[in-house]
Amino acid sequence: MSTAVANRPMSPEEKKVIFASSLGTVFEWYDFYLYGTLAVIIGNQFFSALDPASRTIFSLLAFAAGFIVRPFGALVFGRLGDMIGRKYTFLVTILIMGLSTFIVGLLPNYSSIGVAAPIILIALRMLQGLALGGEYGGAATYVAEHAPRNKRGAYTSWIQTTATLGLFLSLIVILGVRTTVGEAAFADWGWRIPFLVSILLLGVSVYIRLSMNESPAFTKMKAEGKTSKAPLSESFGQWKNLKIVILALVGLTAGQAVVWYTGQFYALFFLTGALKVDGATANILVACSLVIATPFFVIFGALSDKIGRKPIIMAGCLLAILTYFPVFSALTKAANPDLAAAQAKNQVVVTADPKECSFQFNPTGTSKFTSSCDIAKQVLSASSVSYDNVVGAPGTPATIKIGQAAIPSYSAAGLSADDLKKKDAEFKKAVADDLKAAGYPAKADPAKMDKVMIVIILTYLVILVTMVYGPIAAMLVEMFPTRIRYTSMSLPYHIGNGWFGGLLPATALAIVAQTGNMYNGLWYPIVIAAVTLVVGTLFIKETKDVDIYAND
């Protein structure tokens, strides 16, 4: 490529390509946050009247929409994208996603049409999951195939900024509507408006995407009759390519996913759940850090065109491995110094029969942990108490020792709802009283909070996210040939982010409850990032100079 081409500014056509592709992923994120933010209201509208067994089934189905349907969507739409073209495939994905979101806004609730309401809602979630599986790979492939060779990192990095834009858009729409119509009306019918608004986004996206041209690489390949007839078997049935798919998953997307989830979601959960910072303050602090760090997606994307994708992604993983523990410890001192002091001063001991203690891994939210050990650990974890585990006599109920006296826990098995409520209240009060006496704060004190330091720490965590996430779309695109690119890159992305990233909160929570240390949940992202660092460093080749048309 000549220097003139290399250094020319972005053409209007290229800007349009990036804008059209990014708008779809903004949509993806908008939808992602709508469901997260409105979960309680949706639950009340569609699921709260169901019996417990039905709720369990719906929980599993909803879980499947995220964990199984999205990778399946990557296969379905990846295959279509490699066979009939990028443009039409990701036009279909955005149509499915947008219409599904819009229909949720119109869907009658449980009190109107009974069990059909949650069934249709889950079906719509499945459709969205399917479409989501095809959306990102299409957007990344489409942009990369339009980008000059030495600017693929910079161009595709714009897609990565859409996570923040989607979040902010959802906040503006949801909070704008809620403030306008009032809390009660919002819970009753106002929640539908953000879903209905998605039709506007859809209209704009479809209009722009219809006016776009097919990717030049795919057009050329199609004209020459070289498109794949069976992308799935070519991608995953031939070891030569399957090996690269596995490497992309283990050596790139798994680590990227855990660093991303830790920086953007676990940090927020840690602030509110572990450090007891009130939700509104924590949200603002996280939003500030996102505003500051989001430009780094483009900075690292562009930098990856110069120094390579691999060094930046691997450096992000390495920094995460080395700094998560000290950084989260510093976050505790900045956000809740009283808690840090109480943890340092007191020794809390849980004495329990090991047979009573479960590994409380509950990603679907359907398991119940009812033994005295599990209940004791849940209560301590919820209070951010670090504790030691001591083996108790077989058959005896677990106890918690904070000061001098041991507080006996209880088993919830066989108790009536009223007895359970009473026992629970008594036990929690006893623990709370002893914790208070030991100096554990019930909430973070706003007067003692170092908000500037919290924002600096959160910004650092999000900058690590931008290091691993900014260059990754370009790298994934460059790892596979045009004929199977859409299929091959979509699957590791969705398995990496859906499985390794999606399981982070549940796994971290279970590790914390199991080990009794609120920082130990960080071992999960650290171990996964370490595996990615080793595999990626040893086995994945730098791709920035790859000619993505070489094997077409």
Which residues between 290 and 309 bind other proteins (CB under 8 A)? 291, 294-295
DSSP, collapsed to helix, strand or coil, labels residue 399 as strand
Torsion of CA 75, 79, 82, 85, to 10 degrees: -110
Stretch that binds other proteins, among 222-230, 261-269, 307-315, 461-469 (CB under 8 A): 261-269
* Residue 74 in the binding site for other proteins (CB under 8 A): no
Nearer to other proteins, 371 or 532 (CB): 371
User: What's the closest the beta carbon of residue 167 comes to other proteins, in angstroms?
Assistant: 7
Q: Check if the beta carbon of residue 163 is closer than 8 Å to that of residue 23.
A: no
User: What's the closest the beta carbon of residue 107 comes to other proteins, in angstroms?
Assistant: 12
Amino acid at position 108, single letter:
P
* Residue 46 in the binding site for other proteins (CB under 8 A): yes
Touching other proteins, residues 390-409 (CB under 8 A): none
User: What's the closest the beta carbon of residue 501 comes to other proteins, in angstroms?
Assistant: 6
User: What's the closest the beta carbon of residue 365 comes to other proteins, in angstroms?
Assistant: 4
Q: Check if the beta carbon of residue 215 is closer than 8 Å to that of residue 142.
A: yes
* Residue 288 in the binding site for other proteins (CB under 8 A): yes
For every residue of 76-122, DSSP letters joined together read: HHHHHHHHT-HHHHHHHHHHHHHHHHHHHHH---HHHHTTHHHHHHH
Q: Which of 108, 237, 279, 403 binds other proteins (CB under 8 A)?
A: 279
Q: Check if the beta carbon of residue 98 is closer than 8 Å to that of residue 67.
A: no
Give Rg (Cα) of the chain.
25
Q: Which of 126, 144, 174, 385 binds other proteins (CB under 8 A)?
A: 174
* Residue 155 in the binding site for other proteins (CB under 8 A): no
User: What's the closest the beta carbon of residue 329 comes to other proteins, in angstroms?
Assistant: 20
For every residue of 240-290, DSSP letters joined together read: HHHHHHHHHIIIIIHHHHHHHHIIIIIHHHIIIIIS---HHHHHHHHHHHH
Nearer to other proteins, 168 or 218 (CB): 168
> Angle formed by the axes of helices 254-261 and 504-515, to 10°?
70
Stretch that binds other proteins, among 47-55, 87-95, 319-327, 478-486 (CB under 8 A): 47-55
Q: Which of 120, 123, 171, 546 binds other proteins (CB under 8 A)?
A: 171
Nearer to other proteins, 83 or 382 (CB): 382
* Residue 165 in the binding site for other proteins (CB under 8 A): yes
Amino acid at position 130, single letter:
L
* Residue 185 in the binding site for other proteins (CB under 8 A): no
- Whether the CA torsion 454, 459, 460, 465 is positive or negative: it is positive
Q: Check if the beta carbon of residue 345 is closer than 8 Å to that of residue 440.
A: no
- Over the window 335 to 364, marking each residue x when it contacts other proteins by CB under 8 A and - when it does not, the resulting string is -------------------------x-xx-
Alpha carbon separation from 220 to 81, 215, 223, 443, 483 (Å, rounded): 15, 9, 5, 62, 11
* Residue 182 in the binding site for other proteins (CB under 8 A): no
Amino acid at position 362, single letter:
N
Q: Which of 14, 59, 340, 552 binds other proteins (CB under 8 A)?
A: 59
User: What's the closest the beta carbon of residue 37 comes to other proteins, in angstroms?
Assistant: 5
How many residues are there in the chain? 552
Nearer to other proteins, 78 or 263 (CB): 263
User: What's the closest the beta carbon of residue 240 comes to other proteins, in angstroms?
Assistant: 30
* Residue 33 in the binding site for other proteins (CB under 8 A): yes
The position carrying tokens 């997307």 is: 253
Q: Check if the beta carbon of residue 476 is closer than 8 Å to that of residue 139.
A: no
Stretch that binds other proteins, among 52-60, 213-221, 240-248, 339-347 (CB under 8 A): 52-60
Touching other proteins, residues 91-130 (CB under 8 A): 121, 125
Nearer to other proteins, 363 or 439 (CB): 363
Nearer to other proteins, 47 or 324 (CB): 47
User: What's the closest the beta carbon of residue 429 comes to other proteins, in angstroms?
Assistant: 12
* Residue 412 in the binding site for other proteins (CB under 8 A): yes
Torsion of CA 107, 111, 114, 116, to 10 degrees: 10
Stretch that binds other proteins, among 29-37, 89-97, 319-327, 459-467 (CB under 8 A): 29-37
Nearer to other proteins, 47 or 218 (CB): 47
Nearer to other proteins, 229 or 368 (CB): 368
Touching other proteins, residues 416-435 (CB under 8 A): 420-421, 424, 428
* Residue 509 in the binding site for other proteins (CB under 8 A): yes
Tokens of 207: 């209009």
Stretch that binds other proteins, among 42-50, 76-84, 198-206, 343-351 (CB under 8 A): 42-50
Strand (E) or helix (H) holding 374 = helix 372-382
Of 45, 211, 199, 183, nearest to 117 by C-alpha is 45
* Residue 375 in the binding site for other proteins (CB under 8 A): yes
Nearer to other proteins, 190 or 231 (CB): 190
* Residue 329 in the binding site for other proteins (CB under 8 A): no
* Residue 52 in the binding site for other proteins (CB under 8 A): yes
**Sheet-wide strand order for 399-401:** 387-391, 348-352, 399-401, 406-408
DSSP, collapsed to helix, strand or coil, labels residue 391 as strand
Cβ–Cβ contacts within 10 Å for residue 174, how many?
A: 21
Q: Check if the beta carbon of residue 262 is closer than 8 Å to that of residue 522.
A: yes
Rounded distance, CA 419 to CA 363, Å?
Answer: 28
